[in-house]
Structure 1
Amino acid sequence: MATDWLGSVVSINCGLTLGVYQGEVSSVDHASQTISLKQPYHNGVRCPLPEVTFSAMDIKELKFLDIQNTVSKPNSAQGATTESSFIPSGRHNQSNRLTQPHVTSSSSHSSTAPITILRRAPAGSSNSRGATQTAQKKNSVRNGGAGGLMRTKDDECFGGGTDENLDADFDFEGNLALFDKAAVFSQIDGTNSHSNRAQHPSIQGEQKPLSYRHDENILEVKPVVYRQITVPQHGGREYCTDSGLVVPSVPYEVHKRLLAAAERWGLSLERRLETIGVCSSQMALTLLGGPNRLTPKNVHQRPTVVLLCGPHIQGAQGISCGRHLANHEVEVIMFLPNFVKMQESVNNEVQLYSRTGSKQVASIKDLPASPVDLVINCLDCHENPLLREQTWYQSAADWANQNRAPVLSIDPAVSSQHQTVEAKWTLSLGLPLPLPETESRVYLCDIGIPKLVYQEVGIRYHSPFGCKFVIPLHTA
């Protein structure tokens, strides 16, 4: 029987790759056709593994050193008379079955039991894999010197448990076919009602709840009404916001009645000027670069803004804007003619502006000759269109057109003629006026008029501003 060879000391030659192993036979597996040695030696050096297993396919030659039940060292056994010899006669058939090997021995153990080694061990056998890895590590130490020793340490630290001798590539397609992606996603989306009912029998009669995406509103909403502002007298043009709300224009007469009604309810001119100054300065700061331009590290490159103001309410709105810009460390230069009669609101705004320490000029010659960062145009007046024919107005308009700086016009007058100052941006107040067709981008400013004040002049009003005080308008 194969168990009769247990305890024998043998020498197994596995060829040049694996080398020669000596040790005591610990087990012989008839089914897997393997033989195991305990306390093995590899090429005369003690193996770190307590036991190694060999397959019949890897054995080139097998010698019995001492057929005893006691373990003797391989080195001394090799020095003794090695008369027991076992040479595999070859792999006789398709199953690689080796039977009844011939053994000649002068040892006192006269009975010879046959060792039957069947098929080689499976490729995934951990014992045979360990023996192969150990043999490779020892060969690398002997052949590689110090470099081999370093590689051995790396393998011991990081290479344990890895299968380096895979006989077949991993079947990615077969593994992926095991994953039913459609079923998983249908279960996630809540469409697999059959599985839900099987898992929860109590809800078989209930209707499956709807599922929503992360960007969908779970509350039922009414259809959106985009025309939420209606006016008694249309100005002839319509605009729309970024969200699609329609904002109609109104004639200047309706706009004037709206401002008068607001003043009656307490929204005085001074409060309106302050609101317009804050909103227009915020828009101007954004046009100047906002947080990318106005930072403590950029004080040596302060933006320069030129205000072109007339002696009227529109000019007072521009002066209020300049005062807020100066408070935000913007270099402001205000042009205002001093040989014409000023309105009281203009004088009040000039006094506040002078407290900022910013520059004020009355002649076009004192304005910068080089381009500035922004020009704010407040020359036009709704009540007196004849100002355009005066010399100071034309000189200021010519300077603005020749400076090559972008222009922001605040509350420009309605005129069928071409705009005197070519503006890149136009800021309307409350509701837009029917401005002529230009390439200027129209913006709308919230000046704080309550909803019921709009209703007093016949305007059905719903705020289009949302979370902002200045919004862009697009031609409908």
Structure 2
Amino acid sequence: MAENWIGYTVAINCGSILGTFKGVIAKVEASDQSITLRNADRNGVPCTSREITIRAADIKDLEILQRASSQVDERAHPHRSSNGPARSAFHAAAPHSLSVNGRENVQTVQTLSPMRHENMHSIKPGPSGRCLFPDGVRSPSKKDRHFKQRDAAAFGSPIDNTVLEEDFDFEKNLALFNKQAEYEMINQQSSRPDLVKQAETPQKYRHDENVLEVTPAKYRQIKVPGNTSLEYVTDSGLVVPSISISLRNQLLGLSERLGVSVERQAELIGRAATEMALQLLGGGHRLNPRNAHQLPSVVVFCGSQRSAVLGANFARQLSGHGIHVQIVIPESGISSELFRELALFKLTKNPVLTSMQGISNADLIVMAIDDPLMDDFPNKPQPDWFPAAMEWIKNSRAPIMGLDPPPQGTGVELKLSLVGSLPLAHSPSNGKIYLVNLALPVSIYQELGITYKSPFGPKFVIPVHPKA
């Protein structure tokens, strides 16, 4: 008679303490008054043991959920029943009072101790409907219930022992892989020509390089009539030929007649010379409010011709940066252009000297004495203070900068020289040559038979080096 109930799916209510068990009847013992369930769960939580045994004394109610003849595949769904949820949110609050039977790994339901049974019965609903737990028993928070539900969802299902008992057949799995077909495919691919490896590797470009193919660059873009004694090269490789003094006189004279006056040329060269001087004087490290007690000093030696106009204009622009500038000029023979520049310079409250008396030490010396535009500049008269000035310059340790110096030199070693338009064939004593863009129209060059294309690029001042 007891064997007729084997295979039934039942729900056994063991009271509020032990909870409700669901499972399939595996054994009914009439002598022991007990029922053994397999694939059981307690309050919706699958049990860890394959079978559990429940005594008849603990059973409050028993409900048949499914008959044995209509059982579903228990191997696919070992812990789910036809009705009732697979999980229960209150399983964490239920006490774990199941012990394992050592003989058949059968879990037997044990009754609680009197003290624990009393504590569980002391839980009473409060005025708000919530359960009040006694001291020592903490009510599970919402966070605790969330974590318990998450853990049960991930680890609640037991491992199917039938899967563990089956050995993996490696030979059968290896036979599913057709190695011969794969080898044939590899051999077919290797026999074809590898177009990717044989193709030329594409050239990689930097961010400042042109990816489009262009015609070869022409580095000789300036051509002058006649032979040149010296050629210069810019940093970008462009060739700048030197011109003779007579051709230079014609170029600047034609520019003045067409509107590019000496004052305009002086402004451009003076601005370029000011930028170079500021770098020689230390730049921002020297010229800042914290060094107001030791501002640099500059001495400008001017003649009486065009170079002196450049020097006076440079001195005025440099004084606009708060630098103490002194000008030494001749007592007589001053041109009208120089007179106007000196009148503007005197408004800066800086001294204009006609002798070497009262001159102070300088951090930079500027030579604007000799004028290469004069055909007889080697034999022209010099100012009275010129010998004393040359002696003073040689004893000074300050760097010397020249403004449009004569090609053969000024008698002292210059650190650098600034020239406008096209350079003359300067001697090494004039130092490093810097070319200033005077922005002369190209028609002026063409009028004199000069093929000209600007070598300046993005700059107003460029260094030129003698071509080897």
Segments of 4+ in structure 1 off by > 3 A? 1-11, 22-28, 33-38, 51-56, 62-78, 102-107, 210-222, 285-303, 386-391
**Counterpart residue number, 1:421:** 412
Q: Unmatched 5+ residue regions in structure 1?
A: 12-21, 39-50, 90-98, 108-141, 143-151, 164-192, 195-209
- Contact 1:10–1:25 at 8 Å: present in 2 too? no
**Counterpart residue number, 2:101:** 87
**Counterpart residue number, 1:351:** 343
- Contact 2:405–2:430 at 8 Å: present in 1 too? no
| Shift in alpha-carbon separation, 1:427–1:86, aligned structure 2, 3 A | same
Matched, 1:474 2:465: yes
- Contact 2:53–2:106 at 8 Å: present in 1 too? no
- Contact 1:283–1:470 at 8 Å: present in 2 too? no
| Shift in alpha-carbon separation, 1:405–1:8, aligned structure 2, 3 A | farther
* Alignment RMSD: 4.7
Give 1:474's aligned amino acid: H
Deviations, residues 341-369 of structure 1 (Å, cap 9, x unaligned): 32332222211211221122223242223
Shift of 1:323: 1.0
Structure-2 separation of matches of 1:106 and 1:356: 110
- Aligned identity (percent) is 33
Write the mapping of 1:441-460 to structure 2, written as runs, cut at 5 A: 441-460=432-451
**Counterpart residue number, 1:101:** 106
Matched, 1:245 2:220: no
Shift of 1:220: 5.6
- Contact 1:249–1:431 at 8 Å: present in 2 too? yes
Structure-1 separation of matches of 2:426 and 2:296: 29
Out of 269, 273, 287, the position equivalent to 1:276 is: 269
Q: Unmatched 5+ residue regions in structure 2?
A: 1-6, 25-37, 63-87, 113-135, 137-142, 155-194, 197-202
1:308 is paired with a residue whose SS is strand
Out of 339, 363, 367, the position equivalent to 1:377 is: 367
Give 1:229's aligned amino acid: I
- Contact 2:330–2:383 at 8 Å: present in 1 too? no
Structure-1 separation of matches of 2:344 and 2:248: 28
In the superposition, the TM-score normalised over structure 2's length comes to: 0.58
| Shift in alpha-carbon separation, 1:73–1:259, aligned structure 2, 3 A | closer
1:427 is paired with a residue whose SS is strand
Q: How many pairs were matched up?
A: 337
Out of 400, 406, 418, the position equivalent to 1:407 is: 400
- Contact 1:377–1:408 at 8 Å: present in 2 too? yes
Give 1:86's aligned amino acid: V
| Shift in alpha-carbon separation, 1:55–1:330, aligned structure 2, 3 A | farther
Structure-2 separation of matches of 1:388 and 1:6: 131
Shift of 1:8: 6.2
Shift of 1:413: 0.6
| Shift in alpha-carbon separation, 1:364–1:74, aligned structure 2, 3 A | closer
Shift of 1:463: 0.9
Structure whose alpha-carbon radius of gyration is higher: 2
Shift of 1:329: 2.5
Shift of 1:465: 1.5
**Counterpart residue number, 1:261:** 254
> Which is worse superposed, 228-237 or 444-453?
228-237
Structure-1 separation of matches of 2:297 and 2:399: 12
Structure-1 separation of matches of 2:235 and 2:265: 26
1:442 is paired with a residue whose SS is strand
| Shift in alpha-carbon separation, 1:9–1:272, aligned structure 2, 3 A | same
